[in-house]
Amino acid sequence: MPHQFDFGKPMTENIRALFDLWERVWHEGRFDLIPDCVGSHYIRHDERGDRTVSRDEYAAELQTMHRNRPGIRVVVYDHSFSTGRAWFRFAFVWPDPTIGEKCSRAGMQSYRIEGGKLAETWIAMLGLGIAWADEPQESWTRRKA
C-alpha cells in the first residue's frame, strides 16, 4: 500500500509511517516503494559531497549497494521525529562477501521531509568496524519494550 500523507494524523505519525515503509525498501529490497518514500529530487550531504540526485538515480545507488554488500542491514539505535524532520543513530551491518565476517559502520543521519517524502539528508559516518555499544531498537521506528 503506498504511503499516504494523512492530514488527520499528527505529523510524527506520518513520519513514522514513511520510515516504516523506508525500512521495507532497505530490508526487503522493495525498491518499487521508493517513489512513495523519496521526492522527485533528493538532496544529499554525505561523504561524496553535497549533491542532488533524482529519485531514479538514488534508487540505482541503493540497488548497487545491495548488490555489492548482500545482506546489508540498517540497525537503528535511537531516533527522533519532529515536524518535517527525522534523526537516526544507526549502523550499517553486513557480512563480508569473501570471508563471511560481520562488518559494520556506525553513523548519524538527519532528514528533511517535504510533502510526506524524503527531500534532503545529512549523514555522518564513523570508520569501518565501528558499531554502537548499546542495544539496537526493535525496528527503525520502535524502541524495545
DSSP collapsed to 3 states, 37-65: HEEEEEEEEECCEEEEEEHHHHHHHHHHH
Given pLDDT bands bounded at 50, 70 and 90, which one contains residue 25?
Answer: very high
**Cβ atoms of 3 and 18 closer than 8 Å:** yes
Q: What is the pLDDT of residues 71-121, one digit of tens each?
A: 999 999 999 999 899 999 999 999 987 887 999 999 999 999 999 999 999
Please answer whether residues 57 and 51 qualify as being in contact, where contact means their C-beta atoms are separated by less than 8 angstroms. Answer: no
Percent over 90 (pLDDT), the chain: 77
Q: Is 74 within 8 Å of 26 (Cβ atoms)?
A: yes
The model's pTM: 0.87
pLDDT-derived band at 1 (thresholds 50, 70, 90) equals very low
111, HSE (Cβ side, Cα atoms, 13 Å): 26
Percent of the chain exceeding pLDDT 70 equals 92
pLDDT per position as a tens digit, 39-65: 999 999 999 899 999 999 999 999 999
Q: Where are the beta strands (DSSP E) in 59-101?
A: 73-82, 85-95
pLDDT at 10 (0 to 100): 53
- With cut-offs at 50, 70 and 90, classify the pLDDT of residue 11: low
- 61 grid coordinates: 545507488
